[in-house]
């Protein structure tokens, strides 16, 4: 079980690294961050204030956020670090100066930068020029911090990820689906995308998942029939049908994704112990019915809480040598 497998050398290897997508880490590194998250979650936050004392984490957000912003700010505070929050409109990275120059300047002031942005490519340029860790707080391509919390939540419920089956219903091309799938296959789970052909992940991404899953026996496949996607799975995940910035596709998405809404009827095809997951915010009556998201099977608020614990582990892993942790 990955929660007890020792991997101290791997953990030390994360010092100074970026986290732009889940697969920036190896399977072993990902498992080590999850072990650290569980270790920190089990201990009083008052004991953790020395871990990042004197550090500063900048949050540079071009899009709205509740969970990502607050969970990073509280995580940093509980670890003894300061945070500095700026809306994208304030710094205007990309318009007022290049991502490279902004990254070089911020690297002189702060110890890590969390960026929430529209396109992924400027984030890669920013990270390539930064000399401090850059963390993706959501881009068009990936939401890796969300995925850490997702797999942490599944691990808490089932003890381990390897061998589990996780269905993702809806827009399977979006950033949340991509990062969840990367994390799940890297930890040995099977991912079922339930989506119409219009919202299916690209063949190249499915091939990439096959490659990522090789080490841990994880795999992914897409089903156009929602019942086939969900049958017998241990967890059912969905997200809003229209991501931020994609509002022009709202009506089309609603028409195409309606058969993939997670309802009690669809959940009945999952395993009897199956849990429901959603990254939030949720639209009850659209991608999920109220009787599912508000049921005892729903783990969505554990997921939201776990954003904070997972990101604590991430910050400690990227900013320290993790000395003294039994991970
Ligand atoms: N799940 C998530 O990223 O939430 P926010 O957009 O509120 O940060």
For ligand 1, is residue 67 a contact (CB within 6 Å)?
A: yes
51 & 185 share domain: no
Same domain flag for 203 and 258: yes
**Are residue 151 and residue 286 in the same domain, yes or no?**
yes
The pTM of this model reads: 0.95
CATH number at residue 113: 3.40.50.1370
Residue 326 lies in a domain: no
Domain shared by 138 and 152, yes or no: no
Indicate if 28 and 127 belong to the same structural domain. Answer: yes
Of 195, 279, 309, 322, the catalytic one is: 279
Q: Tell me how crowded residue 89 is: count the other CB atoms within 10 A of its CB.
A: 9
pLDDT in tens, 164-221: 999 999 999 999 999 999 999 999 999 999 999 999 999 999 999 999 999 999 999 9
- What residue's CA is closest to ligand 1, atom 3? 68
Q: What pLDDT score was predicted for residue 89?
A: 85
For residues 304 and 39, give the distance between their C-alpha atoms in angstroms, rounded to a whole number.
Answer: 18
Q: Is 68 close to ligand 1, i.e. is its CB under 6 Å away?
A: yes
Q: How many domains does the chain have?
A: 2
Q: How many residues does the chain have?
A: 327
Tens digit of pLDDT for each residue in 259-293? 999 999 999 999 999 999 999 999 999 999 999 99
Whether 146 is a known active-site residue: answer yes
Structural domain range at position 40? 22-142+307-319
**Gap from CA of 71 to ligand 1 centroid (Å):** 10
Residues 6 or more apart whose CB falls under 8 angstroms from that of 166 comprise: 154, 180, 184, 189, 190, 191, 192, 233, 234, 235, 236, 237
186, burial (CB in 10 Å: exposed 0-12, middle 13-18, buried 19+):
buried
Taking only the tens place, the pLDDT of each residue in 79-128 is 999 999 999 888 788 889 999 999 999 999 999 999 999 999 999 999 99
CA 322, CA 317: separation in Å to the nearest integer?
6
In angstroms, rounded to a whole number, what is the distance separating the alpha carbons of residues 113 and 220?
32
Residues 233, 269: Cα–Cα separation, whole Å: 8
Does the residue 7 lie in any domain?
Answer: no
Q: For residue 74, tell me if it sits in a domain.
A: yes
111, 150, 171, 239: which is the annotated catalytic residue? 239
* Residue from 138, 139, 245 to probe ligand 1 pocket by mutation (most atoms less than 8 Å from CB): 138
Q: Is the domain of 123 the same as that of 179? A: no
Whole-angstrom Cα distance, residue 82 to residue 79?
A: 9
If one residue of 87, 142, 279, 306 were mutated to test the ligand 1 pocket, choosing by the most ligand atoms within 8 A of its CB, it would be 279
Residue nearest to atom 1 of ligand 1 (CA): 279
**Same structural domain, 194 and 128:** no
């Amino acid at each position: 079980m990955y929660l007890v497998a020792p991997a101290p050398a791997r953990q030390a290897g994360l010092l100074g690294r970026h986290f732009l997508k889940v697969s920036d880490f190896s399977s072993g590194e990902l498992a080590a961050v999850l072990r650290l998250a569980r270790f920190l979650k089990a201990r009083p936050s008052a004991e953790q204030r020395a871990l990042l004392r004197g550090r500063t984490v900048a949050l540079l957000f071009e899009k709205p956020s509740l969970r990502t912003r607050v969970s990073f700010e509280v995580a940093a505070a509980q670890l003894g670090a300061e945070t500095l929050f700026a809306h994208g409109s304030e710094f205007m990275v990309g318009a007022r100066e290049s991502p490279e120059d902004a990254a070089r300047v911020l690297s002189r002031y702060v110890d890590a930068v969390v960026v929430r942005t529209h396109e992924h490519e400027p984030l890669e340029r920013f990270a390539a020029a930064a000399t401090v860790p850059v963390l993706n707080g959501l881009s068009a391509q990936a939401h890796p911090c969300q995925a850490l919390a997702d797999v942490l939540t599944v691990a808490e419920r089932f003890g381990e990820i390897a061998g589990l089956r996780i269905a993702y219903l809806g827009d399977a091309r979006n950033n949340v689906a991509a990062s969840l799938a990367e994390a799940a296959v890297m930890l040995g789970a099977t991912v079922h995308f339930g989506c119409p052909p219009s919202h299916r992940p690209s063949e190249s991404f499915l091939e990439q998942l096959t490659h990522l899953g090789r080490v841990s026996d994880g795999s992914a496949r897409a089903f156009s029939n929602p019942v086939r996607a969900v049958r017998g799975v241990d967890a059912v995940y969905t997200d809003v049908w229209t991501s931020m910035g994609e509002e022009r596709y709202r009506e089309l998405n609603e028409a195409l994704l309606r058969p993939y809404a997670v309802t009690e009827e669809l959940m009945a095809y999952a395993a009897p112990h199956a849990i429901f997951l959603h990254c939030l915010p949720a639209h009850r009556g659209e991608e999920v019915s109220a009787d599912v998201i508000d049921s005892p099977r729903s783990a969505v608020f554990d997921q939201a809480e776990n954003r904070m614990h997972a990101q604590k582990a991430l910050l400690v892993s990227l900013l320290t040598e993790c000395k003294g942790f039994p991970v």
